[in-house]
């Protein structure tokens, strides 16, 4: 393996700026690494070698400069990339080349970051294991027989396998943080509205949030700064300045948390987390106390209803958003043989194009929104969302951030949870409350259990993304980073 693929994005950008290495060399090293390991990892659905090298050359030619100029990146396949196939890991969009770029992709290009390719994921970002990709699962570089998390398993695995130094994910119920946790990488869900959703293939519009993935906290913050900020094309985009997350991360890395209050949620105890996960979390908490932090127990009584509320709200919004896949304007069309009506062609197209988890959620959402059940399910879930928001607000009057394990268990073997969808949904137990509230949250590797990585989650108030990066940096300074066995 080339040493270039082992370096952080911060180190690479410094070397490229000083012309110690060319951006083309850096991109080539990563493309070669992809060629060498993809057969075993399967993190990518599409690799854009020519496009990445062309973008790198522009940096070498001095056309673009900036903090991450020349640093290559992988992009989750739910984010549209002009002229590069974008499928959301679904058969219904096989071969589709979007005619436009997502706002965050425009920003990556403007920053001079070569896009290596599109990463694998659960179909339409629905899942917690990347086993629901229509193109086959991604394997966890820590143990190729285990899941890399979901839905952003491809992005997280690409980082852990040294195929890319940076990646883009999207987080609807934990799809950036949970894959980060089980692959030993860092993943941040920014404040909802802090990063533009324009050009994301929508799953659950009131929850979806694109965000940065990397191997270190500083790299995550650097990427966060590139993609965040107001976008007039997204009506939910927040027109306020982005806090200086890079300065906050660097401050945290100096290892001083004096005066910072960390809240642990009483109701998260006794939730069935694996003992090894609990042990790694507690040890990390003690490490943060040694850096000067104070731990305070807080009560968030409605967090126990977050998972049920999420599994009504997200499917409801998905059943509406995915109505656009009807075989008319783009993507697959099935049954158009002159014998079937438009309605039948739509039904046959959707049956042929959608996988099992997507169908399940469309049907649940249709049920939850249907006459007679709306008040009992969707309406109630939206009220629970209010109660959870109040829990967060009350907690943040007492503490600066809330902390928890990111996931209740380490990476599980393939197939072990697919037969029981509700067991799979439990993977997002700790990550979902934040999506319902809208605040930022990050997962940072904090230790190992049975030789597999454990994630530490830090949740902050809305628009206080910098606060979470400070604690994340301090944690990394205390526990270090974790390297998977050689592939």
Partner 1 sequence: MAAISREEVAHLARLSRLAVTEEELDRFAGQLDVILQSVARVGEVAAEDIPPTSHSVPLTNVYRDDVPQPSLTQDAALSGAPDAYEGRFRVPRILDEED
Q: Segment 86-115, which members bind partner 1 (CB under 8 A)? A: 96-100
Pick 305 or 430: Cβ nearer partner 1: 305
| Burial (CB count within 10 angstroms: exposed 0-12, middle 13-18, buried 19+), residue 11 | middle
Which member of 8, 133, 175, 319 is catalytic?
Answer: 175
Q: Which two tokens mark 131?
A: 């086993």
Pick 110 or 342: Cβ nearer partner 1: 342
Handedness of CA 175, 177, 179, 180 (dihedral sign): positive
Please name the residues in contact with 117: beta carbons below 8 A apart, sequence gap of 6 or more: 34, 44, 45, 46, 47, 48, 52, 74, 75, 84
Chosen residue from 217, 226, 291, 381 binding partner 1 by CB under 8 A: 381
| Burial (CB count within 10 angstroms: exposed 0-12, middle 13-18, buried 19+), residue 333 | middle
Give the H or E element holding residue 393. Answer: helix 380-398
C-alpha span between 87 and 75 (Å, rounded): 12
Pick 269 or 328: Cβ nearer partner 1: 328
Least CB distance from residue 341 to partner 1, whole Å? 6
Active site residue 91: no
Show contacts with partner 1 in window 242-261 (CB under 8 A). none
Q: Is 139 in the site for partner 1 (CB under 8 A)?
A: no
Least CB distance from residue 363 to partner 1, whole Å? 5
User: Segment near partner 1 (CB under 8 A), from 24-32, 70-78, 319-327, 446-454?
Assistant: 319-327
Neighbours of 260 (CB within 10 A): 19
Chosen residue from 327, 440, 453, 455 binding partner 1 by CB under 8 A: 327
Place of tokens 């006794």: 270
H helix count then E strand count, the chain: 16, 11
Chosen residue from 437, 456, 469, 482 binding partner 1 by CB under 8 A: 437
Which member of 8, 13, 76, 128 is catalytic?
Answer: 76
Q: Is 162 in the site for partner 1 (CB under 8 A)?
A: no
Least CB distance from residue 208 to partner 1, whole Å? 12
Binding mask 334-363 for partner 1 (x = CB under 8 A): --x-x-xxxxxxxxx-xx--x-x--xx-xx
Chosen residue from 22, 206, 299, 449 binding partner 1 by CB under 8 A: 206
353: closest CA among 371, 333, 372? 333
Least CB distance from residue 334 to partner 1, whole Å? 9
Q: Which two tokens mark 71?
A: 């640093």
Name the DSSP class of 342.
H
Q: Is 230 in the site for partner 1 (CB under 8 A)?
A: no
Least CB distance from residue 423 to partner 1, whole Å? 10
Active site residue 175: yes
Chosen residue from 105, 186, 188, 384 binding partner 1 by CB under 8 A: 384
Q: Is 370 in the site for partner 1 (CB under 8 A)?
A: yes
Pick 276 or 421: Cβ nearer partner 1: 421
Least CB distance from residue 146 to partner 1, whole Å? 23
Chosen residue from 145, 420, 480, 483 binding partner 1 by CB under 8 A: 420
What are the CA-CA distances from residue 372 to residues 47, 218, 361, 376, 379 (Å)?
47, 50, 19, 8, 11
Least CB distance from residue 275 to partner 1, whole Å? 25
The residues that bridge with 452 in the sheet, in sequence order, are 449
Query: Residue 328 in contact with residue 407, Cβ under 8 Å?
Result: no
Q: What three-state secondary structure class fits 161?
A: coil
Report, as residue numbers or ranges, the catalytic residues.
Answer: 76, 151, 175
């Amino acid at each position: 393996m080339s040493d270039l693929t082992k370096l952080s994005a911060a180190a690479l950008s410094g070397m490229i700026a000083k012309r110690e290495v060319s951006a083309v060399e850096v991109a080539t090293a990563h493309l070669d690494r992809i060629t060498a390991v993809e057969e075993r990892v399967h993190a990518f659905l599409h690799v854009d070698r020519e496009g990445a090298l062309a973008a790198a050359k522009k940096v070498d030619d001095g056309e673009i400069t900036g903090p991450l100029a020349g640093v290559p990146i992988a992009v989750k396949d739910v984010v549209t990339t002009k002229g590069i196939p974008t499928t959301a890991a679904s058969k219904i969009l096989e071969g589709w080349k979007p005619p436009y770029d997502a706002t965050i992709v425009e920003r990556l290009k403007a920053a001079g970051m070569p896009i290596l390719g599109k990463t694998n994921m659960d179909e339409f970002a629905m899942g917690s294991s990347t086993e629901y990709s229509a193109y086959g699962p991604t394997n966890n570089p820590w143990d190729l027989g285990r899941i890399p998390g979901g839905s952003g398993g491809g992005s997280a695995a690409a980082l852990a396998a040294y195929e890319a130094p940076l990646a883009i994910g999207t987080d609807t119920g934990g799809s950036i943080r949970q894959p980060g946790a089980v692959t030993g990488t860092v993943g941040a869900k920014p404040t909802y509205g802090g990063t533009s959703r324009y050009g994301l293939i929508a799953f659950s519009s009131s929850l979806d949030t694109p965000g940065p993935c990397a191997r270190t906290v500083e790299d995550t913050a650097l990427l966060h700064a590139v993609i965040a900020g107001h976008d007039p094309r997204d009506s939910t985009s927040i027109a306020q300045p982005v806090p200086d997350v890079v300065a906050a991360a660097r401050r945290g890395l100096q290892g001083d948390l004096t005066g910072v209050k960390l809240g642990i949620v009483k109701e998260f105890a006794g939730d069935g987390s694996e003992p090894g996960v609990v042990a790694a979390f507690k040890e990390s908490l003690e490490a943060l106390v040694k850096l000067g932090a104070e731990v305070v127990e807080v009560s968030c009584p409605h967090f126990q209803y977050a998972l049920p509320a999420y599994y009504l709200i997200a499917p409801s919004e998905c059943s509406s958003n995915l109505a656009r896949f009807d075989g008319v304007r783009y993507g697959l069309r099935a049954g158009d043989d002159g014998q079937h009506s438009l309605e039948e062609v739509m039904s046959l197209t959707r049956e042929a194009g959608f996988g099992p988890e997507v169908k399940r959620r469309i049907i649940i959402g249709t049920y939850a929104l249907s006459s007679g059940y709306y008040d009992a399910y969707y309406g109630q879930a939206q009220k629970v969302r209010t109660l959870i928001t109040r829990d967060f607000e009350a907690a943040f009057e007492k503490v600066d951030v809330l902390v928890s394990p990111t996931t209740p268990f380490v990476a599980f073997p393939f197939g072990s949870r697919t037969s029981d969808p509700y067991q799979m949904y439990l993977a997002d137990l700790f990550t979902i409350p934040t999506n319902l509230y809208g605040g930022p949250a990050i997962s940072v590797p904090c230790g190992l259990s049975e030789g597999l990585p454990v994630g530490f989650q830090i949740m902050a108030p809305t628009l206080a993304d910098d606060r979470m990066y400070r604690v994340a940096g301090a944690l990394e300074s205390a526990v270090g980073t974790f390297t998977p066995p050689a592939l």
